[in-house]
Amino acid sequence: MRLYFPRDDILQALKGSTIELMLGIPSEQLRNISSNDPTPSFSWVYKYVNASRNDIRFRYIAVGNEVTMAEWEYVLPAMKNIYRALEAAGLQDQIKVSTAVFSGHISATYPPRNSVFNSQIRPFMREIVAFLLEKQAPLLANVYPFFAYLSNQAQIPSEYVFFTSPTVNEIGYQNLFDAMLDGFYYALEKEGGSSLEIVVSETGWPNAGDSISTTENAQKYYSNLIQHVNSGKGTPKRPGKTIETYLFAMFDENQKGEYEREKHFGLFFPNKLPKYDIKLS
């Protein structure tokens, strides 16, 4: 499960469960967390993590999500401060510290082997990669075939998007998800991170809001995605492994975004009944 910021009611509900948690620090808090004064980072870890260490199964701390250019300078210092706070609590091996990037952070993505982090953020990513390697933590990546297909339906076959293509295409890929994920692996490789793992920290499909956002498409995407990431096939770049993946999102967000589709990514209705007949394992 992923929380983008701590919520006391949800953290309380998770106590005693077997659910593993990725807990986020919002991007707008990075400047404060990254300061030379360790108090904000140590206080955050103590309040939200250390106090519940015996009751909640924390897996990752996501320091920022899809940060903007103005926020990049704070990411690595904040990651280091959070790591030090975890280290002081003896939790540095149990809980990994990372940050979440998205497709807008890379360019030249076709074919995937050409992918590279944008020139403005490469200096930051190079140092982040070194930190992740040193701490044996994965990079978090938000991977959305939905948005790629939405912007280029004329050129992208639907079966390539929904994991139903019978054969690989001219660049050796059978689905768009793998191509996008491998783009991140190739970009990491160019920054010295060829051995880094990636956790897919978001992927999803809305069921309303535009012509491709339908219940049928959402169910098809989620069902086939789950089957694919659990299959152990991996990707052409990283074959033979399951792909740790977080589905976005649990519930709709009726106040989110300027586009109607942004409100309809939920897997469940507000009454907790599932929108789709899908198996999550």
For residue 202, indicate whether it is catalytic.
Answer: yes
Which of 66, 87, 189, 244 is catalytic? The answer is: 66
First to last CA, the chain: 14
Please state whether beta strands 198-203 and 116-117 pair in parallel, antiparallel, or not at all (unpaired).
unpaired
149 vs 36, 49, 90, 135, 157, CA distance in Å?
Answer: 43, 38, 44, 35, 9
Query: What are 46's two structure tokens?
Result: 């103590």
Write down the catalytic residue from 28, 127, 134, 202.
202
Distance CA 74, CA 72 (A): 5
- Which amino acid does the sequence have at 211? S
CA torsion, ordered 5, 10, 16, 21, to nearest 10 deg: -30
Closest to 237 in 3D by CA, of 167, 202, 170, 189: 189
Ramachandran region, residue 198 (left: φ > 0; alpha: ψ -120 to 50; beta: rest) = beta
User: Which residue from 144, 150, 105, 112 is spatially nearest to 128, judged by alpha carbons?
Assistant: 105
Catalytic residue list contains 127: no
Structure tokens at 246: 């977080």
Active site positions, annotated: 66, 202
